[in-house]
Amino acid sequence: MQEHVVIIGTGLAGYTTAREFRALAPEARLTLVTSDDGVSYSKPMLSSALRKGQSAAELGQAGADAMAESLQADVLTGVDVRAIEAQTRQLVFDDGQLEYDQLVLATGAEPLSPPFADRTRGSVFQVNNLQQYKGFRDALDQEGRVLIVGGGLIGCEFANDLAESGYGVDLVYPEDLPLSALIPGPAGQGLADALQRLGVRLHPGRTVESVDPHGEGIQAHLSDGTGLRARLALSAVGLRPRTGLAEEAGLEVDRGIVADRFLATSDDNIYALGDCARVEGYSLCYVAPLTNSARSLAKTLAGERTPVHYPVMPVTVKTSCFRIVAWFPEDPSRGQWQHDGSGADLRGEFRDGEGVLQGFYLTGKRIRERMALSREMPPLIASNEKA
Ligand SMILES: Cc1cc2nc3c(=O)[nH]c(=O)nc-3n(C[C@H](O)[C@H](O)[C@H](O)COP(=O)(O)OP(=O)(O)OC[C@H]3O[C@@H](n4cnc5c(N)ncnc54)[C@H](O)[C@@H]3O)c2cc1C
């Protein structure tokens, strides 16, 4: 009898795995289960869609029915999986159960709650999926300013996108420079300058303590006593892998669902990939790692046990005002940065004590050097062997 493969999640990790698996196993029984509407979309587009004039509806590439048809799979939408009964290989829903032979967890990550007292009614937004993006876009009002809380990748990209689209933006973050988890000082300074040239008001070294309703909008109180008025706020203070289901099922969890290089969890019949997973110690919430993972997992599910290969996959930051490609070193205490270039065209290399390249950043025209630098770096997970 055909094995039943069930995937929880229809984000990029779930659908990419399904597509790759279907190409290898045309006859296999495949079901995807999602608590959302199952619309296929590219999440990275959310933080650059405004300046490209794309609406939330236009970002949806295919609905759940069209995906079910093209994948020759059942796609169950609006279904929250409440529990995994690993012993009997069953998923538990509010109104039923589903048996599986092989289960794939592609449950993503959820935004951290805003770390401030939010006394507004619905004026503080988080954007981590298409529905949330639609709510945010519907609430945007060209007249008012937008307060962005958090100077990481998502905060900076939205600041760029909103400012380029004509909105007034205040960006508040506790660090001295934006994007400091991904790029060191000179590149962070270049980004800060470029965002300011776009008209973004930066508030480094500060946190938002509370947000209250004020007239048609909001008033935020910052840690240095400053008050900021805006139409609405976007909280972009980080993501947490969605691990609750796995934990309750007794799977090993450590800052993500623990998976080995075969994407296998501590249960032989359950796999994990994408934002919810920590693969061989790497929690990489980006598209390239999940694409690599999906390709190798599809082979394993189709009967050819295949380990994942993680080369260095530098992150492209979609700040069009200051283009950046970067890979931050695993351990910034073990080595040194060397910086080169001027203006918008910068290059930085991080080498360890043995002179091995462990991280880099490139901006502007220097981005064309990315392939050479990526190739020079040791892979994160090097494995071509079959089990
Ligand atoms: C604004 C933004 C911009 C980004 N830009 C980039 C970029 O430029 N480059 C890049 O590489 N990465 C970028 N990323 C990160 C990238 O988009 C994510 O790493 C990737 O989309 C994660 O996909 P996923 O399938 O793991 O998770 P998700 O897309 O979060 O999918 C999770 C799925 O699981 C389902 N689910 C969860 N729990 C349950 C349950 N209990 N029952 C049923 N269903 C459940 C959800 O409904 C959903 O379908 C960006 C992220 C954001 C938010």
User: Residues of 26-48 as b/e, b for ≥16 C-beta within 10 angstroms?
Assistant: eebbbbbbbbbebbbbebebbbb
The candidate with the shortest Cα–Cα distance to 168, out of 206, 196, 133, 139, is 196
Query: In the numeric block, which tokens belong to residue 384?
Result: 């071509």
User: 9 CA to middle of ligand 1, Å?
Assistant: 9
- Report the distance separating Cα 89 and Cα 174, nearest Å: 45
d(CA 40, CA 181): 30
Ligand 1 atom closest to the Cα of residue 13 is: 25
29-33 and 74-76 strand pairing: parallel
Can you name the residues that pair with 326 across neighbouring β-strands?
315, 361
Write phi, then psi, for 78 (nearest 5 degrees).
65, 25
Rounded to the nearest angstrom, the distance between the alpha carbon of 105 and the centre of ligand 1 is 12
Q: Of all atoms in ligand 1, which is nearest to the CA of residue 276?
A: 26
**Residue 254 alpha carbon to ligand 1 centre in Å:** 19
pLDDT tens, 159-204? 999 999 999 999 999 999 999 999 999 999 999 999 999 999 999 9
Q: Please compute the mean of the pLDDT values over residues 6-27 and round it to a whole number.
A: 98
**More confident of the two residues 115 and 77:** 77
Q: In degrees rounded to 5, what are phi and psi of residue 88?
A: -100, 5
* Residue showing tokens 């009002």: 141
For residue 367, is pLDDT > 50? yes
CB 322 within 8 A of CB 363: yes
- Decide if pLDDT at 82 tops 70: yes
3-state secondary structure 280-315: CCECCCCHHHHHHHHHHHHHHHCCCCCCCCECCCCE
Write out residues with Cβ below 6 Å of ligand 1.
8-14, 33-36, 43-44, 46-47, 80-81, 106-108, 127-128, 154, 242, 245, 274-275, 285-288, 290, 318
The SS3 call for residue 82 is: coil
Nearest-atom index, ligand 1, CA of 288: 11
- In the chain, the domains with their CATH numbers are 4-110+239-301 (3.50.50.60), 113-235 (3.50.50.60), 323-376 (3.30.390.120)
For the cut 70, the answer to whether the pLDDT of residue 381 exceeds it is yes
Residue 93: C-alpha distances to residues 69, 77, 137, 203, 251 (Å): 23, 12, 32, 45, 19
Atom of ligand 1 nearest to the CA of 46: 1
Looking at the predicted structure, is the pLDDT value of residue 88 above 90? yes
Question: What SS3 class is residue 84?
Answer: strand
Sheet holding 96-99, edge to edge: 83-85, 90-93, 96-99
| pLDDT single digits (tens) 247-269 | 999 999 999 999 999 999 999 99
Q: Residue 38 Cα, ligand 1 centroid: separation in angstroms? A: 12
Q: Ligand 1: which atom is nearest the Cα of residue 289?
A: 11
Is the confidence at residue 383, as pLDDT, over 90? no
Q: Which residues contact 118 (CB under 8 A, 6 or more apart)?
A: 124, 210, 211
Mean pLDDT, residues 14-38: 98
The mean per-residue pLDDT over the stretch 53-81 comes to 97
Tell me the percentage of the chain whose pLDDT exceeds 70.
Answer: 98
Task: Tell me what the pLDDT averaged over the chain comes to.
Answer: 95
Task: Determine the pLDDT at residue 142.
Answer: 72
Ligand 1 atom 48 nearest Cα? 9
Distance 15 CA to ligand 1 centre (A): 11
What pLDDT score was predicted for residue 385? 47
Residue of the CA atom closest to atom 5 of ligand 1: 44
Cα of 309 to ligand 1 centre, how many Å?
Answer: 21
